[in-house]
Amino acid sequence: MVRAHKRINVLYITHYPDLYGANLSLLSMINAVKDAVNPVVVIPAKGPICEKLDAKGIPYCVIPFAVPFITNRARTLVNLLKICVKICIYVFLNIPAYRKLRKCVKNNHIQIVHSNTSLVTVGHHISKLMGLKHVWHIREFQDKDYHYKSYQPQRLYRKRLKRTDAVICVSKALAEYFAIDNKAKVLYDPIIVGNSFRKIVKENYFLFCGLVLKSKGIEDLIQAFGSFLKLFPDYRLLIAGNVDSQYKNFLTEKTKENGSKEKVCFLGHRNDVMDLMSSAKALIMSSKNEAMGRVTIEAMMNYCVVIGYNNAGTAELIANNKTGLLYDTIEELVSKMAFIAENEDKRNFIEDQAFTYSMNTFTEEKYGEAILSLYTELLKK
């Protein structure tokens, strides 16, 4: 574990209280530097992350604040009114938020403010107001993966990124997208490694894990699975992740159209994702603009082949035919799924290669050393 002669007081700010990818990565990051850092976490509301923080003895402050982003929707009168309301909430909610943040910083003798996602802007502002060092952790494309659009001009946001003290991107693709590849440090998120990873007999199903959104390529996956099912009718597709009821109905209609309705299972949010990965023939990472893909690494660690769309962070993590399989079209996805179903020896080879690669690359120890080195250099400036 990482150690330092003098512990560093760091304020981590995250924009939501749930246990999705960004916050799971936040917990891994704090764990990686726990022997060198005094962490304090700011969250905008109580939620599932609080239980994890309490269990680890990590102090946190609940400070309601807003982010200057909205989901990009059609420009109807109703949606424009909603935007106006959200802008007003952003302005008025953040006035008391800055006062509370200032108090939190002073009480905990904070030296560095670390914004956990690209959506968090209050970290940048409070660090400038109080003369503190600021680290901005970029984990998403915003518009390309989650359809987030900023209230402010994109050029202003990118200018702030370039002017902040340090930027961490979870993939090279992100650094290039925000035009900060000369400034940003690329660090792939670590995964907390346990002793439970083991190779077990596979079942006849493919797995999708994550929020079920159009941007995650789920419609292409369902179309591909329908074609695959005609060749291998004894397979299932398990979809583990929250999905809006209206969108679920739309996807269900898609499964009816291609004859896969009885074989596609919407599981909702699951706490046994690791077990699902261990038993799956493959995990499908169908997102076309995945910033990194935490589940890709988790699947590798669970001896689960990843079939991923050949772009962005996914293409950086997977060496085709060695640590996973990459595809560009729906037809290629069908072909890769069939390949996995027919070639047990090759699947076993990829599983072993991916496991070794992930266990050697995405360790907390290496990650913690990189984070602590960044903090130390910032405080010297």
Question: What does the H/E/C string look like for 6-56?
Answer: CCEEEEEECCCCCCCHHHHHHHHHHHHCCCCEEEEEEECCCCHHHHHHHHH
Q: Are strands 205-209 and 282-285 parallel, antiparallel or unpaired?
A: parallel
HSE value, Cβ hemisphere, 13 Å, CA-based, for 303: 17
Give the confidence band of 79 by pLDDT, cuts at 50, 70, 90: low
Give the confidence band of 88 by pLDDT, cuts at 50, 70, 90: low
Closest by CA to 284, choosing from 327, 321, 348, 226, is 327
* Percent share of the chain, pLDDT over 90: 74
The Cα–Cα gap between 40 and 49 comes to 13
Q: Which CATH class is domain 205-361?
A: alpha beta
Q: What pLDDT is attached to residue 148?
A: 73
Read off the pLDDT of each residue in 275-281 and give the average, rounded to a whole number: 95
Q: What pLDDT is attached to residue 194?
A: 59
pLDDT score of 89 more than 90: no
CATH superfamily of 8-190+363-380: Glycogen Phosphorylase B; (3.40.50.2000)
Give the confidence band of 284 by pLDDT, cuts at 50, 70, 90: very high
Give the confidence band of 324 by pLDDT, cuts at 50, 70, 90: very high
Same fold, 8-190+363-380 and 205-361: yes
The Cα–Cα gap between 94 and 67 comes to 9
pLDDT score of 1 more than 50: no
Mean pLDDT rounded to a whole number for the chain: 90
Please work out, in degrees rounded to the nearest 5, the angle formed at the alpha carbon of residue 259 by the alpha carbons of 258 and 263.
Answer: 115
Q: What pLDDT is attached to residue 196?
A: 64
The Cα–Cα gap between 133 and 97 comes to 19
Read off the pLDDT of each residue in 271-288 and give the average, rounded to a whole number: 94
Residue 338 contacts residue 232 (beta carbons within 8 Å) = yes
Give the confidence band of 330 by pLDDT, cuts at 50, 70, 90: very high
Greater confidence, 178 or 194? 178
The Cα–Cα gap between 333 and 91 comes to 46
Q: What pLDDT is attached to residue 291?
A: 87
pLDDT score of 274 more than 50: yes
Residue-range domain boundaries for the chain = 8-190+363-380, 205-361
Read off the pLDDT of each residue in 55-64 and give the average, rounded to a whole number: 96
Greater confidence, 73 or 269? 269
Read off the pLDDT of each residue in 46-59 and give the average, rounded to a whole number: 96
Tokens of 115: 């914004």
pLDDT score of 84 more than 90: no
Tens of pLDDT, residues 347-369:
999 999 999 999 988 888 889 99
The Cα–Cα gap between 292 and 276 comes to 21
Helix boundaries (H) for the chain: 21-32, 48-56, 77-107, 122-130, 154-163, 172-177, 218-231, 245-257, 273-279, 294-301, 312-317, 330-342, 344-361, 364-380
pTM here? Answer: 0.82
* Percent share of the chain, pLDDT over 70: 91
Tens of pLDDT, residues 132-171:
999 999 998 887 766 677 767 778 888 888 999 999 999 9
Q: What pLDDT is attached to residue 186?
A: 94
